[in-house]
Amino acid sequence: MASDVAKMKGEITKAHKAVRGRSPLQLAMGRFMRNPLAVAGSIILLIIIFITVFAPLFTHWSPTNPDIMNTDAGPSALHWLGTDSNGYDNMARVLYGGRVDLTIAFAASIMVMVLGTIYGGISGFLGGWVDNLLMRFVDIMLNFPFISLVLVLEAIFNTSNEWMLILVVGLTAWPGAARMIRGVFLQLREQDYVIGAVTIGASRMRIIFRHILPNTLSLLTVLVSMSVAGYVGLDAGLSFLGLGVPPSVASWGAMLNTYSDYISLSTKPYAWIPPVVMIVLTILSINFIGDGLRDAFDPQSRS
């Protein structure tokens, strides 16, 4: 009995030493790697990114050069997933289309987080009448349906490429992130280490960038990962409705728009199922990663 107790104490001591020797980031990554869904989502997302970035390794067809001799053709040894009515190779458009969708999703998420962090950080750190004024504008923005704002800005700017769509999404989606970051800044500015920095006369810029902002990086990482999944779906939905990138640009949503009629849906599953699978796998994998990051950085959030 005594030997068992001594052995248990020894294991506990070793565990404490191992924990003390690791940084908070290493502890968080350890928790992340013990989440099977998060790890599976990371592997799937990496595979999707690999096959889209290195698409020329998997097909010799270009998504913008049609095969006019094989328009609206079914699967064959020449075109594994057939071609559309313009002669574009469907497999090439599935592979290359991921570049557009993922670029829009990641770039829009980063833009939203940057704008939201700057706006919400200023509001939360300064407080008082500045906070009230800035938040009233956020309330006005949040009162308008997000999709309606996107459609209005698309009509104004006439989106002709993915970068304009990124700008439109970024200019309409930042208020939600700003409100969340503002709440975090309101909490952090009351912490002892921030009050101590103010007491010794540290400048506002030093307090923000040295003491407050680093403590929001874990939250920003989770928000970016979760918003990417939403923007993948948003881009696919807009392209499906014909409101996203032009049809000539290869994207998963544009492919669904091409085969959205009843005849195509019933007779050409080889053409529209692959982009659907890619969209679903991408969104699920990013959601799994976001859940894993949330649980890793905030263990108390786990049920």
1: in domain: no
Q: Which residue has the higher pLDDT, 133 or 204?
A: 133
15: in domain: no
Return the pLDDT at 10: 56
Q: Is the pLDDT of residue 160 over 50?
A: yes
**How far from the centroid of its chain's Cα atoms is residue 33's Cα?**
20
Return the pLDDT at 20: 55
Write the burial class of residue 190 (CB in 10 Å: 0-12 exposed, 13-18 middle, 19+ buried): exposed
Residue the block writes with tokens 């700017």: 157
Given a contact cutoff of 8 angstroms between Cβ atoms, the answer to whether 153 and 215 are in contact is no
Query: Is residue 201 left, alpha or beta, with left meaning phi > 0 and alpha meaning psi from -120 to 50?
Result: left
Position 3 confidence tier, pLDDT thresholds 50, 70, 90: low
The pLDDT tens digits of the residues spanning 27-49 come to: 878 888 888 999 999 999 999 99
| Distance of alpha carbon 140 from alpha carbon 143, whole angstroms | 5
Given a contact cutoff of 8 angstroms between Cβ atoms, the answer to whether 47 and 95 are in contact is no
Owning domain of residue 122: 28-53+82-301
Return the pLDDT at 48: 93
Quick one: average pLDDT of 46-68?
A: 88
Q: What percent of the chain shows pLDDT beyond 90? A: 13
Return the pLDDT at 301: 53
Quick one: average pLDDT of 203-220?
A: 82
Least confident residue range of 152-156, 206-210, 220-224: 152-156
Quick one: average pLDDT of 281-292?
A: 90
pLDDT, mean over the chain: 81
13: in domain: no
Strand partners, 89: 83
Return the pLDDT at 47: 94
Quick one: average pLDDT of 288-292?
A: 88
Position 303 confidence tier, pLDDT thresholds 50, 70, 90: very low
22: in domain: no
Q: Is the pLDDT of residue 16 over 70?
A: no
Position 11 confidence tier, pLDDT thresholds 50, 70, 90: low
Given a contact cutoff of 8 angstroms between Cβ atoms, the answer to whether 140 and 199 are in contact is no
151: in domain: yes
227: in domain: yes
Return the pLDDT at 21: 58
Return the pLDDT at 281: 93
Is pTM beyond 0.85 here?
no
Quick one: average pLDDT of 115-120?
A: 90
Q: Is the pLDDT of residue 58 over 80?
A: yes
Given a contact cutoff of 8 angstroms between Cβ atoms, the answer to whether 177 and 113 are in contact is yes
Position 14 confidence tier, pLDDT thresholds 50, 70, 90: low
Q: Is the pLDDT of residue 154 over 80?
A: no
CATH of the domain at 252: 1.10.3720.10
| Distance of alpha carbon 178 from alpha carbon 174, whole angstroms | 6
Given a contact cutoff of 8 angstroms between Cβ atoms, the answer to whether 245 and 159 are in contact is yes
Taking the CA of residue 184 as centre, how many other CA atoms within 13 Å lie in the half-sphere pointing to its CB? Answer: 24
106: in domain: yes
Q: Which residue has the higher pLDDT, 282 or 144?
A: 282
- How many distinct structural domains can be found in the chain? 1
Nearest in space to 275 (alpha carbons), one of 125, 90, 103:
90
Quick one: average pLDDT of 222-247?
A: 79
> Which contiguous run of DSSP H or E holds residue 184?
helix 162-188
Q: Which residue has the higher pLDDT, 19 or 180?
A: 180
Quick one: average pLDDT of 55-63?
A: 87
154: in domain: yes
| Distance of alpha carbon 22 from alpha carbon 25, whole angstroms | 8
